Chains A and B, each alone.
Chain A
Amino acid sequence: MRTPSRVAVTPQAADLLRRLRAVHGPLMFHQSGGCCDGSSPMCYPLGEFATGPSDVLLGSLDVDGAAEMEGAVPVWMSAAQFEYWSHTHLTIDVVPGRGGGFSLEAPLGVRFLIRSRMLTRDELAALDLA
């Protein structure tokens, strides 16, 4: 069985990511916590945000719908935050909005948003083995 994924992207968000990539080059996400614009995914040019041992790579978003993952967008979260999130599956969506830290989409009048669901028992078991 293929290892289930922790992250996904809606078609609307994938479309936005392709547009942003055309302007800014390869992209990444880091999930924010805390106040104001927090608890939201922040989108940056790949490498703009320095990840390290205190972060967890949740997965990569295939925004081209292709088998090869060349343009895939990695999604990171701090390891401490992951402790509390690990039982949920995250889908990155986009809604009309205004602002959000230094995230790239804000000037377009939209904001990336996390939608969550519980991982199933089978998914969790498979992820634990992976």
Chain B
Amino acid sequence: MTVYAPPGQPGSPAKYASRYDNFIGGEWVPPVKGQYFENPTPVTGRAFTEVARGTAEDIELALDAAHGAAPGWGRASAADRSAVLLKIADRMEQHLQTLAVAETWDNGKPVRETLAADIPLAIDHFRYFAAAIRAQEGSIGELDEQTVAYHFHEPLGVVAQIIPWNFPILMATWKLAPALAAGNAVVLKPAEQTPASILMLLELIADLIPPGVINVVNGFGVEAGKPLASSPRVAKVAFTGETTTGRLIMQYASQNIKPVTLELGGKSPNIFLEDVARARDDFYDKTLEGFTMFALNQGEVCTCPSRALIQESIYDQFIADAVERTRAVVQGNPLDTDTMIGAQASNDQLEKILSYIDIGQQEGAKLLTGGERVQLGGDLAGGYYVQPTIFEGENRMRIFQEEIFGPVVSVTRFTDVDDAVKIANDTLYGLGAGVWTRDMHAAYHLGRAIQAGRVWTNCYHLYPAHAAFGGYKQSGIGRENHQMMLEHYQQTKNLLVSYSPRKLGFF
């Protein structure tokens, strides 16, 4: 067991500055209007730094810098761009503990997740796209003996990226790595709930990046995000967030005729077939862990397995075991490596979760465990903690249909595989799903029938590079985490070349 000291305290691997400016053109640039906002840690609820409150003027400066840098970066060889990404990965690896502790402090998640998942995955992601861009090829179509179509990948130019607060560094990396590999310059706006850890990352890697290739402007959505998303000076907008803002971003993009990629969340079903309980073996144990994954990252994951569908023939015993496993989740100081669930990212997030626990009970769902805010003592007294919560109810209830974005799972039963598919697909969303069974025929059938972009089969919450991630239905447009993402950040240039010396004969 290790308990890390909070950033800035003696012995802590991380130290935040007392104030952060915007990162524009390779420099730290104060916001034009001179305003800053306080950034609290969800661990204690107290502010630990202040961050530039950027506005449209700062976005313009960042776009100027990005447009200055984009042509040179776009012309750089794939080998050179790849080398920069590899150096970023190496630098992050050298400072893994620093970044992990900083991320936990900014977001509230347990440090064992940032040490084992967030930061290592981000490192690997830069390496993956460093490799993918080296391996990418255009194509040649031989249309006839003397006519050839060449297809080249060209960068889009300057792209806008708006990052969510649930995995601040990892989500920034998911968007930065393919954009940079493909030769684009980026203007990135972090979430205002978690603006600081990305800036610590930029401090660590600033010397590796040509000035203007990555620009970060912080601020509120309406003041900084909107001018970025609606700017005619960006060639594409990438956004992870929710449906209304996603629609608004599409609306702005339509005015400028720009493409968007959107990741807008889900209400992911996690399906447990009766054969999982055939033996009390390692696999059954793994299945119970799979159920409890709703508490990973405090449930603040777009693919949170927030609906558990359990076959009725095993329901009573399985849910009893699942409740027991959930009650064993250790809640406490996020900087303690033994802690399994940390703090919700903000006060309004906490309030929203509690409001859903309230409507769930009003709708008649049965609370099996949890359901309360947790008041931890000492320094953690001001933090935003919620018990892992299990509801039993019906799929029509709002707690089965809306993304609570907290450690809350809604459980119901199904009769057979067809019933499971019907319930699983009775949702507006289609981002993730889980299927647990020893019968691979059933697993394949279910996996193909569920309308979701990713169906984890006998696993859950794995996010490796080289497995495409993205949504069906209202969960968004586009994919991440895969080499195909390069094409979301590229134009296709076709050279159609005639090698014939003879005229066509029309004129």
| Residues of A that sit less than 8 Å from B by CB | 30-40, 42, 44, 48-50, 78, 80-81, 84-85, 88, 95-104, 106-107, 111, 113-118
Contacts and interface: CB of A to CB of B under 8 A. Distances in A.
A52 B85 CA distance: 44
Contacts of B398: 84-85, 88, 116
Contacts of B225: 101-102
Nearest to A40: B352
B362 A118 contact: yes
A106 B220 contact: yes
B348 A78 contact: no
Given A34-B429, A35-B263, A39-B402, 5 more contacts: A32-B244, A36-B302, A38-B243, A49-B248, A80-B428
Contacts of B358: 115-116
A84 B355 CA distance: 16
Interface residues of B, number: 55
Residue of B247, B356, B398 contacting most chain A CB atoms (<10 Å): B247
Contacts of B475: 34
Contacts of A40: 242, 348, 352
A36 B248 contact: no
A106 to B, nearest CB: 5
B480 interface: no
A36 B251 contact: no
Nearest to B397: A84
Contacts of B247: 49
Given A36-B164, A49-B244, A116 B359 contact: yes
Contacts of B248: 44, 48-49, 101-102
A118 B363 contact: yes
Contacts of A48: 248
27 contacts: A32-B242, A33-B265, A33-B403, A34-B266, A35-B240, A35-B302, A36-B191, A36-B240, A37-B241, A39-B404, A44-B248, A48-B248, A80-B428, A84-B396, A85-B398, A95-B347, A96-B347, A97-B347, A97-B351, A99-B165, A100-B221, A101-B221, A101-B241, A101-B244, A102-B221, A107-B223, A113-B351
Contact of A113 (B242, B355, B363): B355
A58 B333 CA distance: 42
A106 B223 CA distance: 10
A99 B242 contact: no
A99 B38 CA distance: 12
Nearest to A108: B220
Contacts of B263: 35
Contacts of A107: 37, 53, 220, 222-223
B332 to A, nearest CB: 23
Given A38-B403, A84-B401, A116-B398, A49 B220 contact: no
Nearest to A34: B265
A115 B356 CA distance: 8
A84 B348 contact: no
A35 B351 contact: no
Contacts of A115: 355, 358
Contacts of A50: 251
Given A36-B166, A36-B240, A114-B355, A102 B246 contact: no
A116 B222 CA distance: 26
B397 to A, nearest CB: 8
A31 B244 contact: yes
B245 interface: yes
Contact of A35 (B193, B241, B348): B241
B426 to A, nearest CB: 10
B402 A30 contact: no
A57 to B, nearest CB: 15
Contact of A39 (B192, B242, B346, B362): B242
Query: Which of B243, B300, B396 has the most chain A CB atoms inside 10 A of its CB?
Result: B243
Given A32-B243, A33-B265, A39 B222 contact: no
Closest 10 CB pairs of A and B: A35-B265, A97-B348, A38-B242, A34-B265, A32-B244, A101-B245, A111-B348, A34-B242, A99-B192, A84-B401
A42 to B, nearest CB: 5
Nearest to A44: B248
A35 B264 contact: yes
A42 B53 CA distance: 20
Q: Among B166, B221, B244, which residue has the most Cβ atoms of chain A within 10 A?
A: B244
Given A49-B247, A49-B248, A95-B351, A33 B402 contact: yes
Nearest to B39: A98
Contact of B222 (A84, A88, A103): A103
A30 B248 CA distance: 10
Contact of B346 (A44, A78, A81, A99): A99
